[in-house]
C-alpha cells in the first residue's frame, strides 16, 4: 500500500527493509532503518548528496526514546522532531522529557506544534468496516482505497 500511496511523489522512496528484517526473524530497530536510509542516496548514485536524517515521533514517545535500542547511536545520526498533539501544547511532563533529552542525552530535538488533523487509523477502519468508499477517498490516497476496504471492510469492492 505504501508503494501505491506514494507513487505520484517525486523523490520519495518507500523501503521495506524493516519487513525484510522481520521475515529473517530479526527485530526491526529504528537505528538500523535510519542507518540504511542515510546510505540510500549513495546506493541510488547520488554520491555527493548530504543526508540529514530526522526521526519524527509523537509526543507520547519522547520520554521513552532513551530506552530505544542503540539510542546513543540513533541520536548521533538523526535529529529528533517531536510532534505534540493539540492537548499537549502546555504539557509540563512533555516539556521536562524534552529538556531531559537535551540535557542528559545531548539529543538535537525540535518540537513541532501542528494543527490537529481530523483523521485517525481508527476512523479509517470504521469507515472501511461500513464500506463507506465515498468517505475513504477523502481520508486516504485514492490508490489505496480498495486495499483499505479489502483489509478492514465488509463490502465487496468493484
pLDDT by residue (tens digit) across 76-127?
A: 999 999 988 776 677 888 888 888 988 998 887 888 887 777 788 889 999 9
**What is the C-alpha separation between 94 and 117, in angstroms, rounded?**
20
How high is the pLDDT of residue 156? 47
Q: 74 and 106 in contact (C-beta within 8 Å)?
A: no
SS3 19: helix
Does the pTM of the predicted model rise above 0.85?
no
Q: State how far the alpha carbon of 120 is from the alpha carbons of 35, 137, 158, in Å.
A: 29, 14, 25
Q: 151 and 5 in contact (C-beta within 8 Å)?
A: no
Percent pLDDT > 70 in the chain is 93
Q: 63 and 71 in contact (C-beta within 8 Å)?
A: no
Q: Which is more confident, 7 or 26?
A: 7
The domains of the chain, with CATH numbers, are 2-116 (3.40.50.620), 117-158 (no CATH)
**What is the C-alpha separation between 93 and 102, in angstroms, rounded?**
15
Amino acid at each position: 500500500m505504501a508503494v501505491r500511496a506514494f507513487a505520484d511523489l517525486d523523490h520519495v522512496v518507500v523501503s521495506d527493509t524493516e519487513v525484510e528484517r522481520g521475515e529473517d526473524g530479526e527485530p526491526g530497530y529504528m537505528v538500523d532503518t535510519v542507518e540504511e536510509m542515510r546510505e540510500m542516496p549513495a546506493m541510488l548514485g547520488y554520491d555527493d548528496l548530504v543526508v540529514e536524517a530526522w526521526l519524527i515521533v509523537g509526543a507520547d514517545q519522547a520520554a521513552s526514546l532513551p530506552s530505544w535500542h542503540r539510542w546513543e547511536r540513533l541520536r548521533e545520526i538523526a535529529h529528533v522532531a517531536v510532534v505534540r498533539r493539540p492537548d499537549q501544547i502546555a504539557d509540563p511532563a512533555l516539556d521536562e522529557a524534552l529538556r531531559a533529552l537535551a540535557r542528559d542525552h545531548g539529543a538535537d530535538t525540535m518540537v513541532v506544534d501542528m494543527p490537529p488533523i481530523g483523521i485517525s487509523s481508527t476512523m479509517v477502519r470504521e469507515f472501511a468496516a461500513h464500506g463507506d468508499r465515498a468517505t475513504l477517498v477523502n481520508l486516504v490516497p485514492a490508490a489505496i482505497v480498495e486495499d483499505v476496504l479489502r483489509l478492514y471492510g465488509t463490502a465487496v469492492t468493484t
